[in-house]
Amino acid sequence: MKAVVLGGTAGMGRAVARRLAERGDEVFLMGRDAGDLARSAADLEARKAKDARVGYAVCDLEKPEGFAAALDEADRALGGFDTVVVTAGMFATQEALEADIELTRRVLTVNYTNTVVFCEHARKRLLERGGGQLTVFSSVAGDRGRKPVALYGSSKAGLSHYLESLDHKFHAKGLSVLCVKPGFVKTGMTAGLKPPPFAGEPDAVAKHVVRAMVARKPLLYTPAIWALVMLVIRWLPRFVMRRIGF
């Protein structure tokens, strides 16, 4: 694969980029900070047994005006890419969001509007070349309106909805879209939160995700147990949801 990874410097994106590089795929990194990108690119280069440069470009989900240029650069560096992975996103706790409307606006814009805009750019390029693979990290938080993630979850609900439609619309044209719904994973993003019983590790999640990408699956709950958990949650009646703190 020739893969662009937006958000590949940290957390689950870092783990996915490493897994791809160690498999022998070509990787191009995108993220907010040039210094951080350079260090992560060096990490991927040192992990590959073969001598290979790993390119990168600054691309910030808060600055949609830069999306096209960053993707053009990836295109040049990779000689055309066939895979795009988006793990970048913004998280904030419900309390923090309720206390700060500006923060709410940013989280909703980054996680929904701007991610969709980025995916539209990527999707067009992939389809021009006859298809490819688009993998985007949404969240189990988008499956059901829930008290502890009311605002964050709504942005991920919109994103999941968009990704499902993309899959329906373009699957026959050769574009496979994978919507990843991680449950709790121990990364820097979730560092302040108390891990629930089946918290996952980024490496295990990355392994799972790459397998689903290769198998061209449209939807992945990871760690796998969350498929079961969310199945139950989705069917809980409203009066129960109102009462419980989940």
Asked if the peptide bond before residue 196 counts as cis, ω within 30 degrees of 0, the response is no
- Mask of contacts with other proteins, 123-142, x by CB under 8 A? --------------------
Give the other-Cβ count within 10 Å of 197's Cβ.
Answer: 7
- Which lies closer to other proteins via its Cβ, residue 22 or residue 120? 22
Look at phi and psi of residue 99 and say left if phi exceeds 0, alpha if psi is from -120 to 50, else beta: alpha
CB of 137 to other proteins, least distance (A): 16
- Which lies closer to other proteins via its Cβ, residue 15 or residue 179? 15
Judged by CB under 8 A, the stretch of 110-118, 135-143, 183-191, 237-245 that binds other proteins is 183-191
- Contact, 200 vs 213, CB < 8 A? no
Secondary structure (3-state) at 220: strand
Joined tokens for residue 220: 């992945």
Judged by CB under 8 A, the stretch of 40-48, 95-103, 115-123, 173-181 that binds other proteins is 40-48
- Mask of contacts with other proteins, 42-61, x by CB under 8 A? xx--xx-x------------
Cα gap 215→24, rounded to integer Å: 17
Binding residues for other proteins, per CB under 8 A? 9-11, 14, 36, 39-40, 42-43, 46-47, 49, 186-188, 191-192, 194
